[in-house]
Structure 1
Amino acid sequence: MSEIAWGLASDKTAIMLAVALLTMTVLAAGPLHPIDNFVNTYPRPLWDEIRVFLILWLDTVASRFVALPVLGVTALHFAYYHRSWRPVILGVVGVFGMVCLVASMKLLFSRSHPRTYDPSFFSDLGSVSFPSGHGANAILIYGLVLFMIIRYKAARPHVVQRLALCIVGIALLQSAVSVYLHFHWFTDLATGMIAGGLALRLTIRLDRMIPEGRTRFWWPWLGGSFWGGREQQQVHSGGPAAH
């Protein structure tokens, strides 16, 4: 367990993202308030005409009600096709880690809602605006879908590139809609996407550190056993356990 913790803590990309997350948090606490206020008070054209449409449709693109089923179907597909529980475990661990990170930051900083026109932290109103969960969802959940596609070589490189652009488009669309609807401050969304990126990187790192092992052979259609995964593998391959 200590080796896993050290491996996660020593990942250079994760360290850079953690520093970026800390930096954005500090900037959002004060120095970037003028930008937040400018974006929050900028005129909203066609407010009455498109507000309901944005809430019911475009704002849900990065919500967990939409993103989690996409991740679930993807993980179950690869789990069944490759006879491995690893895709399901990756999905659960990644989402759980991201939710814990975002939820703890929301409760810790208690930022005022944009409709109060006060971007201060530690609000007495009990708001949980910072960071944006939708921003984190767009990067972490859809990023995990793309990672599984890459990991199991399910698409050609040019398709992967287009899917990556789609994720960027979803994140930008979600940010624009949330800002327009006064659901989040600008820095909420930027910090949320960094938090999602950090959770995604740690999940990928964890996947690379843990060998296939029991997540591969603990599969009901193979007649495997979680506790006897190695022995079961030897039986199928004619190893010592078969004798």
Structure 2
Amino acid sequence: MLAIIAAGPLRVWDYQLNRRWLYLFDPDLVWFAQNVLDRIAAQAVCTPVLAVVAIVLAHRRQSWRPIGFALATEAAFFIGIGGLKVLLARPATTLHDPRFFQGGLLELGDRGISFPSGHSAEAVLIYGAAVYLIANYSGASRRLVRVLCWVVIAISVNSVVVSFLLGWHWATDLIGGLIAGGLFLRILTQYDTRTRYRLNRMGSVAAPAL
């Protein structure tokens, strides 16, 4: 739905809002924004975080489920989010054309697959998956889980604001990334929750028979 709106009425706003704002306001902050703040939601950072959480919890629970969930999360990102980027083929801001289906991975490389934003999707999906594992496969308190949820929100906001100020994405790319990441996270968590419920129910039914 957002892609449809972005392709129509919001396209003009995307074009008008796109500036390298940070270069205009304070160029001295550009290096920090690019090399520190932006990388928080990069694969090189968030994937190891998810991997460590999954491996530690798998060892503690003596179960492969946390690792399986982490692998499914990565698959959702590369196949789901990546598939959307390739399918919608939106050029990057450097090409000054916010129209969909005007880019393409083969034609323009990573400059032709701008929507949805990978970083904003990762912020929600990858870090959200790590928090889900902690909440459901460890003895973490509700208070800790609540704090971690706020951390994910902060990382997501950081990803959107930094990319927007650097002029790396159209505004709707960033919003689309948050929505897409949240959607895939919802699908994964719902599936895992229902699967665990069925397994626990089967175990409780089988126990009296033994």
TM-score (norm: length of structure 2): 0.85
- Between the aligned residues of both structures, percent identity stands at 32
Report the equivalent of 1:191.
Answer: 176
Larger radius of gyration between Structure 1 and Structure 2: 1
Q: Give me the whole-angstrom Cα distance separating, in 2, the residues matched to 1:51 and 1:183.
A: 12
Q: Which amino acid aligns with 1:137?
A: E
- Cα distance change on mapping 1:42 and 1:34 into 2, 3 Å: farther
Moved over 6 A (4+): none
Q: Which secondary structure does the structure 1 equivalent of 2:167 belong to? A: coil
Q: Give me the whole-angstrom Cα distance separating, in 1, the residues matched to 2:173 and 2:189.
A: 24
TM alignment of 1:1-243, pairs within 5 A: 23-41=1-19, 43-44=21-22, 45-124=24-103, 126=108, 127-211=112-196
Pairwise CA RMSD: 2.4
Q: 2:21–2:166: 8 Å Cα contact kept in structure 1?
A: no
Q: Give me the whole-angstrom Cα distance separating, in 2, the residues matched to 1:160 and 1:211.
A: 19
Q: 2:21–2:165: 8 Å Cα contact kept in structure 1?
A: no
Q: 2:41–2:123: 8 Å Cα contact kept in structure 1?
A: yes
Question: 1:183: Cα distance to partner?
Answer: 1.4
Instruction: State the number of aligned residues.
Output: 198
Q: Deviations over 1:159-217 (max 9, x none)?
A: 21111111111001111111111211111111111111111111112212324899xxx
Q: 2:90–2:99: 8 Å Cα contact kept in structure 1?
A: yes
Q: Deviations over 1:138-174 (max 9, x none)?
A: 0111111111111024322222111111111100111
Q: Give me the whole-angstrom Cα distance separating, in 1, the residues matched to 2:101 and 2:9.
A: 16
- Return 5+ residue gaps in structure 1 as ranges: 1-22, 215-229
Question: 1:59: Cα distance to partner?
Answer: 0.7
Q: Which amino acid aligns with 2:180?
A: A
Q: Deviations over 1:34-75 (max 9, x none)?
A: 321232137433453121221111110001100000000000
- Return 5+ residue gaps in structure 2 as ranges: none
TM-score (norm: length of structure 1): 0.74
